Structure 1
Amino acid sequence: MDSEEKLLKDELSSTIQLSERVLLAVDDAASFKGECFDVAKLVNRLSHALRKLVRFATAVRSLYERPIRRVIAAVSNNLECALSLVRKCRSRNVVLRVVTIVSGSDFKRLIVLLESSVGDMIWLLSVFDIENATGGAGAGAFGVFSLPPIATNDPILALVWSCIVSLQMAQLAVRIEAASQLGSVASDNDRNKHIIFDEGGVPPLLKLLEEGTSPDAQIAAASALYILANDQEIVRKIVNELGVQIMVQVLENSPMKVQSQVASLVARMAEYDPLAQEQFARENLIRLLVSLLLFETFGNDHNAQLGNQSIHSIVEINKEKEAFSQPSEGPHASSSARASYWYNYYHSFDGGKHRREREQEKPEVKLSLKISCAEALWKLAKGSLSNSRRICETKGLLCLAKLVEKEEGELQQHCLMTIVEIAAAAESNADLRRAAFKPNSPAAKAIVNQLLRVIGEFNSPFLLCLAIKSIGSLARTFPARETRVIGSLVTQLGHGNLDVAVEAAISLEKFACPGNFLRMEHSKTIMEFNGVPHLMRMLRGNEMTKLHGLILLCYLALHAENGEALEEAGVLTVLKGADRTHVVAHNPELRFLVPEAIPLLTRYRKGLHSQRLPFLP
């Protein structure tokens, strides 16, 4: 028996004693005897209900206390009022009766209060099903929803209490219905979510998810938690209640439908709380998510792909396989030397558990799981250098590249978003850049190939922007000979969608900026692919196209060895005119770049004219 249970029982006992004091005061009443008798009847009912509740609380090991404490506090307050009023009626001295003013309206107000308390107690007994409870285990009266007087001004409170009681104490079918009802209530508005959170709805939902008694129960619990988890405070509560460990366990051992819903919950929590992001990574969840994505992604065609690789690539892939492979366990583990590495890796993570069920699942269920896992990886990687590194260490890049190649729609989009986050982390960290995006790395090559394929073949502006942004983040990893990357980006400068054109200009800036060691070579390549005319056309667009068009033109003027293309396009005239425009005046970078670029272009023009002067003997 812990201290909280003792406190609750003490509070109940104190309230019962208070009711007995009221009854004794009624026996001593000398005036308003009829009204006092009515008070006594109501107090008797309260005392009887309180004693039932004490017996029930003593027999039950784990009891949901929130509604009990709220009701008992209100009952105690009303009993205090009753005791005070009845005591004023016990004096037999006429003078004291006159001085102590007691009226019939006082008793009417008290009767209303006591009747409300009786209604609250009846509601408590029905919700916990105390009348029918045997051996101290109530069934929970979920589905027979009534409104106690204490919740008249806030009916949602009573519904939440009923649902949480059912979650803790009812049969499985009722618990599933209660979890679904909580999710429905939470979806209405944020206030309802905080009511559920404040009234202790998170722990029983986590318990239902952890038990694994039924996939439907786990899905209902995960769905309700997903709706709740759009607030950092609530997500932090889930983390503190060991929710991260529970979710990792469920993802390891549950059917695909459950895994899909829990992976979505992981993504939601990682989005709203950096602590949850880190806790999931510490529990090795990233490796688990990658393993779930690998299921039927490579299949047995992985070995067939080796025939199309160079000897060096094959050696590198074999090294990765040796470093990454884990010993198979369990009765279903495959020992065949011909089995696919990725297929074996997936099953080696959980010893082949649920293997047959997963293989026989419907395609839409498999796809839903992959979409959820890809979203979870994206949210875990977002803004996190450590998690991006973990994804690379689990060979997740190869998996993401393959999914971008094979899949489409939401799954492909989530994979590209994950790549965007990893590339951004690599841009800010040289160690990750060198480790994950080495030019001769099969994973890096696969990622770049798929990004270029998206840029070259896709029409969706959103996907194009994702691929272009990723290439830009990796600008410092490309050697000078990798001209196809710059060629693809230059082509997108002329895209009809201005967002795509701006993103292409931003990415090319990272190739030609002073921070890139190969800026001279890359600037030359941009001009060779006829990038200057595209940039000149961008200057006729909106403010964003003008801004990034001018920045890239300045970089080309500063770093290009041959400025003939710039001269022919009239860049000098444009920069001189732009020097006084709103775009330059409000951008610190351009205020520095334009004055630097103009003298260089001027000197080049003078040198060009001097070369064209006719020879005079």
Structure 2
Amino acid sequence: MESSSEKRVEDELSHPIMVAERVRSAVDEADSFKLECSEVGKQVDRLLQMLRSLVRLATATSTAAPPLYERPIRRVASEAAKNLDRALALVRKCKRRSILHRVVSIVGAADFRKVLGHLDASVGDMKWLLSILDGGGGGGIVLTLPPIASNDPIVSWVWSFIASIQMGQLNDRIEAANELASLAQDNDRNKKIIVEECGLPPLLKLFKEGTSPLAQIAAATALCHLANDLDRVRVIVREHGVPAVVQVLSDSPMRVQTLAANLVARMAKHDPVAQEDFARENAIRPLVTLLSFDTFVDDPLGHLGKQTIHSLVQINKELGKGARGGKQFATSYSNSYLFMEGSSRGGNHRKERENEDPALKLQLKVSCAEALWMLAQGSVTNSRKITETKGMLCLAKIVQNEQGELQFNCLMTVMEITAAAESNADLRRAAFKTNSPAAKAVVEQLLRIIKEVDSPALQIPAMKSIGALARTFSARETRVVEPLVAQMSNRNAEVADEAVVALSKFASPVNFLHVEHSKSIIEFNGIPPLMRLLRSNEITQMHHGLTLLCYLALHAGNNESLEQARVLTALEGADRTGLPQNIKELVSSAIIHLNLYHAGNSQRMSYLP
């Protein structure tokens, strides 16, 4: 990136111009090799003329003209200065001086050939540089190779493309952005060069200008390819990319919004700073708005709650969150759905959205759902913002009605929100109140997936979500425990293990209702499948199973099911194996507790440590 401490480009050019003037004077003073010095002088004259043309370009003060792309100018000017220094040193040796100086300073034809070769290379560099800068005036993309980049042609192509994006006509800018996207897609080295050569600012400018959807799509595609690394995403953030992306997301055609949502997902995935910045710029609102488009059209409330006056008011509160007291319900309900259709700026494209190809609408929703997933990942702030919109109802509705990538992305968003709620009591109490229609709708869909959908990819995040919400369920909510117990018998080992982990959160001592939930797990015949899992060869699965079994023994130790299943014997056998210290302590406590209820059995008492 260009540093604020760098000299102005005019100052950068003044040094080679000064050296070129000195070479011209030295050529005039030469006493030997006059013909060779004359050839050097001709090349220097050509360089001098080009350098002055560059200065005129750099000092042009038209406010309508785009800024000059300076990276290649600085590199070429620096190389030209070195070559002019070589020429000056050589020509000065051709001036008549003392006999000793002539002996020490022997000059040959080979020296002139070498210097002329360097000067010729600089002339070629300057020709190429002026051609790409002139391209900004309508000359188009230049793909010839300057001598300075002969060992690394990618650099010269990147320079040419960036110059066209920054200074070219619209069609050239679109073509150049597409070329940069293609280069960025190839490998990480190309991405690094594009960022180092200051390609991000002109791409972001093209992206947010909004003069052409094709230009925005080309720029967004390039930016998406570049935003797959923490350092590069951090550069986009420093270049004020986050507000630009949110602006485009709020007010652009659907194809552009899809790519903007992809960019949000990429940046949030790789950089927590970008995650926070998107929260500050309120990126959640347009994403939820776009995800909700068409979702509630046929049946705004669907199966998300009974349509009593009370439930409508509750749902309206969840949707609106900003409706002021004193307004009629119909008014606040209408305002809530105005928000669904888009922000004030996004409304400009509502009719276009309604007439768009269904496949494009679907892709936009997939992208928005992924963006919400990445924004919610590990972020309490963003998870809270999603729950403060109508996002929860929308996610539940989509999980209920859709399939494929859209359903998966929405389910993963729910999983991240519930994980944030598990770690944050305030969010848990606010978003997952027992009387919240949004929370009820989400839980209903999670339970439906656990019970009815035979897909580990969906069942596992659904169970993670239910487990994360374990502390929000009352003792009467046994319908939540039952499907988890049933899944302990699932043929898929990962699904069965995740069911054990979720149930452990119900039976854990940190759960206020751990005793009641432990009894429910046993009543739903959870001990036999749990004992079968303990015989698994998978160490992790065995440790999770032991943890749950110990919780059940500690909280419902007098239950006959534990004795019938020979739980005490199983725990004593496990205690003799190598266990992690925390599980070993838990097992020992469970053995002691179970022995309290079976003290008459001397054989079992003998197992006590």
Provide, for residues 441-487 of structure 1, a one-character-per-residue CA deviation record: whole Å limited to 9, x for no partner. Answer: 10110000000011011111111100000000000000011001100
What's the counterpart of residue 499 of structure 2?
Answer: 504
1:475 aligns to what? Answer: 470
1:236–1:276 CA contact under 8 A, matched in 2: yes
Q: In the alignment, is residue 72 of structure 1 matched against residue 68 of structure 2?
A: no
- Deviation digits for residues 37-76 of structure 1, max 9, x if unmatched? 2211211211121122222222265111100000000001
Q: Equivalent residue of 2:276, what SS?
A: helix
Q: Which residues of 2 match residues 283-294 of structure 1 at below 5 A?
A: 283-294=281-292
Q: Distance in 1 between matches of 2:289 and 2:54?
A: 51
Counterpart CA distance in 2 for 1:259 and 1:354 is: 11
**Is the partner of 1:262 in helix, strand or coil?**
helix
Deviation at 1:356, TM superposition (A): 1.0
Q: In 1, distance between residues paired with 2:344 and 2:264? A: 19
Query: Displacement, 1:355?
Result: 1.5
Q: Report the TM-score when normalising by structure 1.
A: 0.91
Classify the secondary structure of the residue corresponding to 1:516: coil
Distance 1:13 1:116 in 2: 20
Partner of 2:561: 565
Closer, same or farther in 2 for the Cα pair 1:503/1:336, shift >3 Å?
A: closer
Is 2:380 aligned against 1:385?
Answer: yes
Question: Relative to structure 1, is the Cα distance of residues 183 and 233 closer, same or farther in structure 2, using a 3 angstrom cutoff?
Answer: same
* Distance of 2:387 and 2:487 partners within structure 1: 29
Match of 1:556 in 2: 552
Equivalent position SS for 2:82: helix
- Most deviating of 472-481 and 351-360: 351-360
Paired position in structure 2 for 1:14? 15
Provide the identity percentage.
Answer: 59
The equivalent residue for 2:30 is: 29
TM-score, normalising length: structure 2? 0.93
Tell me what 1:332 maps to.
none
Q: Is the 8 A contact 1:197 1:234 kept in 2?
A: yes
Tell me the distance in 1 between the aligned counterparts of 2:558 and 2:486: 21
Contact 1:126 1:141 in 2 (8 A): no
- For 1:363, the equivalent position in structure 2 comes to 358
Equivalent residue for 1:106, pick from 111, 133, 150? 111
Does the CA-based 8 Å contact 1:23-1:40 persist in structure 2?
A: yes
Structure 1 residues 304 and 102, CA gap change in structure 2 (3 angstroms): closer
Paired residue for 1:445, among 440, 446, 467?
440
Structure 2: distance between partners of 1:156 and 1:255: 33
Is the alpha carbon distance of 1:5 and 1:306 closer, same or farther for their aligned partners in structure 2, counting shifts above 3 Å? closer
Equivalent AA in structure 2 for residue 81 of structure 1:
R
Q: Which residue in 1 is equivalent to 2:52?
A: 51
Residue 59 of structure 1 aligns to a residue in which SS?
A: coil
- Which one of the candidate residues 339, 343, 346 is aligned to 1:345? 339
Amino acid at match of 2:138: A
Matches of residues 353-432 of structure 1 in structure 2 within 5 Å? Answer: 353-432=348-427
- CA deviations 1:504-535 (Å, max 9, x no partner) are 10110000011011111000000111111001
Whole-Å separation in 2 of the counterparts to 1:30 and 1:257: 70
Partner of 2:607: none
Displacement of 1:150 after TM fit?
A: 0.9
Query: Does the CA contact (< 8 Å) of 1:30 and 1:92 recur in 2?
Result: no
C-alpha contact (below 8 Å) 1:325/1:345 kept by paired residues? no
TM superposition shift of 1:395: 2.6
SS at match of 1:606: coil
For structure 1, which segment, 217-226 or 309-318, has the greater mean C-alpha deviation from structure 2 after superposition? 309-318
The residue aligned with 1:537 is 532
Match among 115, 118, 123 for residue 120 of structure 2: 115
- Aligned partners of 1:162, 1:300: CA distance in 2, in Å? 51
Structure 2 distance, partners of 1:3, 1:273, is: 25
Aligned partner of 1:599 among 575, 592, 604: 592
The 8 Å contact of residues 557 and 594 in structure 2, kept in 1 or not, is answered as no
CA contact (8 A) 1:296 1:343 kept: no
Once residues 23 and 281 of structure 1 are traced to their aligned partners in structure 2, the CA distance between those partners, rounded to angstroms, is: 61
Is the contact made by 2:251 and 2:348 (CA closer than 8 Å) also made in structure 1?
yes
CA distance in 1, matches of 2:4, 2:513: 69
CA distance in 2, matches of 1:303, 1:396: 14
- Check the 8 A contact 1:299/1:340 in 2, yes or no: no
Q: Is the 8 A contact 2:557 2:593 kept in 1?
A: no
Q: 1:336 to 1:503 in 2, by over 3 A?
A: closer
Q: Which moved more, 1:93-102 or 1:414-423?
A: 93-102
Shift of residue 320 of structure 1? 3.6
8 A Cα contact 2:304 2:393, kept in partner: no
Describe the SS at the equivalent of 2:53.
helix
CA–CA distance in structure 2, aligned partners of residues 312 and 562 of structure 1 = 44
Deviation per residue, 1:93-150 (Å, 9 max, x gap): 44431222222222222122111111111111111127xxxxxx623540x4011111
The one-letter amino acid of 1:491's match is A
Report the equivalent of 1:614.
Answer: none
CA pair 595-339 structure 1, distance change in 2 beyond 3 A: closer
Alpha-carbon spacing, 1:321–1:45, altered in 2? closer, same or farther (3 Å):
closer
The residue type paired with residue 595 of structure 2 is T
Aligned residues: 592
Whether the 8 Å CA contact 2:290–2:342 is kept in 1: the answer is no
Equivalent residue in structure 2 for 1:466, among 440, 456, 461: 461
Partner of 1:331: none
- Residue type at the aligned position of 2:106: I
Contact 2:321-2:388 within 8 A present in 1 as well: no
Give CA-to-partner distance per residue, 1:20-48, whole Å, 9 cap, x none. Answer: 21111111111122221221121121112
Equivalent position amino acid for 1:175 in 2: R
**Pair 1:97-2:93 in alignment:** no
- Correspondence for 1:133: none
Q: Could you tell me how far 1:337 is from its partner in structure 2?
A: 7.0
Q: Are 2:450 and 1:455 equivalent residues in the alignment?
A: yes
TM superposition shift of 1:540:
2.0
Query: Is 1:590 the counterpart of 2:583 in the alignment?
Result: yes
Distance in 1, Cα, partners of 2:304 & 2:97 = 106
RMSD: 2.4
2:132 counterpart letter in structure 1: V
